């Protein structure tokens, strides 16, 4: 080491090494201690003091990393649900029903936490399979290759199997429902999901998203409807109508957009615009998330381009997202809520917006968040 060099942290003109503690003490005296700036301390997770899921989630919220965001997400969901002025939208992507999260969806709907659902068609198809009493199965890669699964009629979704027979039985159910729809009817996806939910309720089938949504009068929208087994079932039904000499049923996706838009701007009509709120709870991302969020820019576009349809801005005040996708991939699943602020979809934190983003597998984080909030609300009864 050069004779002119000094150990890290030792000033060139400072005291001799024997007086180093005095210099260090002076330095510490000038530094902030966190408390004086109003910083919130993190706390060790004490499992011995944890007696419920809510205790665990609250404790995790005072830790760090993913545990902290999970706790923050529960706080935002609680605030969203407790806000009586808030219209709450649940968006769903990924294979959540085949992953056996269907009753979590049903619980959120049945408890009145959700006023509209936006989903992929596949997720609703697998949920219909389950609600109608059919089964999914664990995949054992040591027993079957994917080629063998194909031959046996087992469709693999990661580690779980959807039976081709289930999908055939589902098609027969959907065909029977649509067969009763009069010729000349134009349907949107929320019409089809309502009809299916009605049939499930009338048949006394198990609880599930479609049945709960019908019973609680919560619309389910499937923006990319043809990208699903349900969409193929409707297409198949129309082919059967043509073969029978009947007119096919018309499908209008703008029926979904227009109804969702009207529900959005009409919620709590007795309140002033500044007193109303909107919230969104998202699993994954993709089309359901973007379709639900784009209603805010749609309102803005109409106000600018069709003045007769002008309406004050409506942005989501509360937002929770559970998705492990990183932002740098540039897709709708990884898009941050901060980015959504720039599109006029989310209220910024500076204006009272509250959001939490949990980078985790939804089958782990989602049940914990929902159960924690259930316990908080149940404690108030």
Confidence of residue 26 (pLDDT cuts 50, 70, 90): low
pLDDT in tens, 224-280: 999 999 999 999 999 999 999 999 999 999 999 999 999 999 877 777 767 889 999
Q: With a cut of 50, say whether residue 177 has pLDDT above it.
A: yes
Q: For the chain, how many residues are written?
A: 381
pLDDT band at 5 (very low <50, low <70, confident <90, very high): very low
Domain boundaries, the chain: 47-85+277-381, 118-267
Distances in Å between the alpha carbon of 25 and those of 29, 93, 127, 252?
6, 55, 64, 73
Q: What is the pLDDT of residues 53-93, one digit of tens each?
A: 999 999 999 999 999 999 999 999 999 999 999 999 999 99
Tell me, what's the pLDDT at 2?
Answer: 45
Residue 27 confidence (pLDDT): 57
Give the residue-averaged pLDDT of 137-165. 97
What contacts 31, CB < 8 A, 6 or more positions away?
Answer: none
334 token code pair = 């990884």
Helix (H) or strand (E) holding 318: strand 318-322
| This model's pTM is above 0.95 | no
pLDDT category at 331 given cuts 50, 70, 90 is: confident
Kindly state which CATH superfamily the domain 118-267 is placed in. Answer: Deoxyhypusine synthase (3.40.910.10)
Q: How confident is the model over 289-299, as a mean pLDDT?
A: 94
pLDDT at 152 over 90: yes
Percent pLDDT > 70 in the chain is 92
């Amino acid at each position: 080491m050069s004779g002119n060099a000094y150990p890290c942290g030792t000033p060139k003109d400072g005291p001799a090494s024997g007086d180093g503690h005095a210099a260090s003490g002076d330095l510490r005296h000038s530094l902030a201690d966190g408390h004086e700036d109003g910083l919130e301390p993190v706390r060790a997770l004490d499992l011995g003091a944890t007696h419920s899921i809510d205790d665990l989630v609250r404790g995790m919220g005072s830790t760090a990393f993913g545990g902290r965001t999970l706790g923050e997400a529960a706080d935002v969901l609680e605030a969203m649900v407790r806000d009586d002025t808030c219209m709450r939208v649940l968006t769903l992507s990924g294979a959540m029903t085949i992953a056996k999260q269907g009753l979590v969806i049903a619980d959120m709907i049945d408890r009145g936490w959700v006023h509209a659902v936006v989903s992929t068609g596949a997720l609703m198809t697998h949920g219909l399979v389950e609600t109608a009493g059919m089964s999914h199965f664990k995949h054992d890669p040591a027993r079957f290759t994917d080629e063998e699964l194909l031959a046996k009629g087992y469709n693999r979704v990661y580690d779980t199997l959807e039976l081709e027979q289930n999908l055939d039985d589902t098609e027969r159910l959907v065909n029977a429902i649509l067969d009763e729809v009069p010729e000349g009817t134009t349907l949107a996806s929320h019409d089809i999901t309502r009809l299916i939910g009605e049939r499930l309720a009338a048949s006394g089938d198990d609880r599930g998203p479609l049945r709960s949504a019908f019973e609680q009068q919560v619309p389910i929208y499937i923006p990319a409807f043809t990208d699903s087994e349900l969409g193929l079932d409707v297409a198949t039904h129309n082919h059967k109508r043509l073969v029978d000499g009947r007119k096919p049923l018309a499908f209008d996706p703008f029926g979904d957009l227009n109804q969702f838009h009207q529900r959005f701007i009409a919620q709590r009509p007795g309140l002033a615009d500044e007193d109303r709120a909107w919230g969104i709870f998202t699993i994954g991302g993709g089309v359901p998330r973007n379709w639900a969020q784009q209603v805010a820019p749609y309102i803005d576009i109409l106000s600018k381009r069709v003045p007769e349809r002008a309406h004050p801005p409506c942005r989501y005040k509360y937002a929770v997202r559970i998705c492990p996708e990183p932002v740098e991939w540039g897709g709708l699943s990884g898009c941050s809520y901060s980015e959504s602020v720039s599109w006029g979809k989310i209220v910024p934190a500076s204006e009272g917006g509250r959001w939490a983003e949990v980078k985790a597998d939804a089958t782990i984080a989602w049940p914990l968040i929902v159960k924690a909030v259930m316990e908080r609300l149940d404690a108030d009864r």
